[in-house]
Amino acid sequence: MQILYQDEHLVAVAKPSGMFVHRSDADRSAESVVVQILRSQLAQNIFPVHRLDRATSGVLLLARSHAAASACGLMFSERRVKKTYHALIRGFSMPEGQVDTPLKSSRGRDKPDGHPWAIPQHASTSYRTLKQFQVPIALGQHATTRSSLVKVQPETGRYHQIRRHFNYVSHPVIGDTSHGDGRHNRVYREHFGAERLMLAAVRLEFQHPVTEKPCDINCPADSSFTTVIDQLDVFRIPPSAD
C-alpha cells in the first residue's frame, strides 16, 4: 500500500478503487484487502478506524494499537475530522450548496418502518463546484451530456452518504451502479474510460488523538480518476449560476 502518513500510533494509506478495507460478506472471494496487505507490509496488527466504500479511492486512516483505535473512534464519532472528497456528478451543480436529508443507517436498510434501525438519521453534506463540462454527446432528449467536478465535505458519516445525497438532488455520482444513472455511466465509460465510481477521498484534517498535533493528510486522486477529468477538460465551460 502507498503510505501517506505514519507514526507510532497511526498510519494513513491511499486505498485504490475496487479494494475492500477489510474482509466482507459482499465478496468473500476478494483477495486484495487493505488491512491484510498492510498487516503484512508493516508486520504488525492494524485496525481500521473509519471506512471507505469498496468503489471509493483515497486517504484511509488506520491505527497501530487498540488504544489509538479507540481514541480515533471517539474523534470520528464526535465529528472532529474534516473529510474532503472530489466527485464527478451528473448535470450542472450550483456554485455551492448543502444537502441536509436524513438517511437510514446501513443496518436499517432491510428493516421495516418503525424499527429503531430504520429511523433516518441526521446527515449533512456541503459541496462547491470546481469545474463544469458540456460534452457534445446526445443523451435522451438532451443534445449534450453535462457533468460537474465538485469538492465535497460530508459533515456526518452515514452509509453511502455522498452517493445518496447527490442522487437525492438529481446529481448522481458518475459510475455509481447502486444510486446512479446507468445511461450517464455508460457514456462516461465508453467515451472517457470511466470504469470506476468517480468519487475520491482527497484529504483528512484532524488533531492527532494521542499527540494533539495538527494532521493534514492529502491524497490526490489517482490516474483512474484524473485521466477522465483530463479528457473532459476539453469540454470545460465557465461555471453556471443556474
* Whether residue 100 lies in the annotated active site: no
To the nearest 10 degrees (0 to 180), the angle between helices 223-232 and 182-192 is 90
Which residue bears the cell 473509519?
50
Q: Which of 25, 27, 53, 100 is catalytic?
A: 53
94-97, long-range: CB < 8 A, 24+ apart = 94/129, 94/241, 94/242, 95/128, 95/129, 95/239, 95/241, 96/126, 96/127, 96/128, 96/129, 97/126, 97/127, 97/169
Strand pairing partners for 58? 15, 201
Q: In sequence order, what E strands does 64-192 have?
A: 82-90, 96-100, 124-135, 145-154
- The grid cell for 40 is 503484512
User: Is residue 199 helix, strand or coil?
Assistant: strand
Query: What distances in angstroms separate CA 118 from CA 24, 102, 112, 178, one per listed residue?
Result: 22, 11, 7, 19
Amino acid (1-letter code) at residue 70: S
C-alpha 13/C-alpha 15 separation (Å) is 6
Rg (C-alpha) for the chain, rounded Å, is 19
Catalytic (active-site) positions:
53
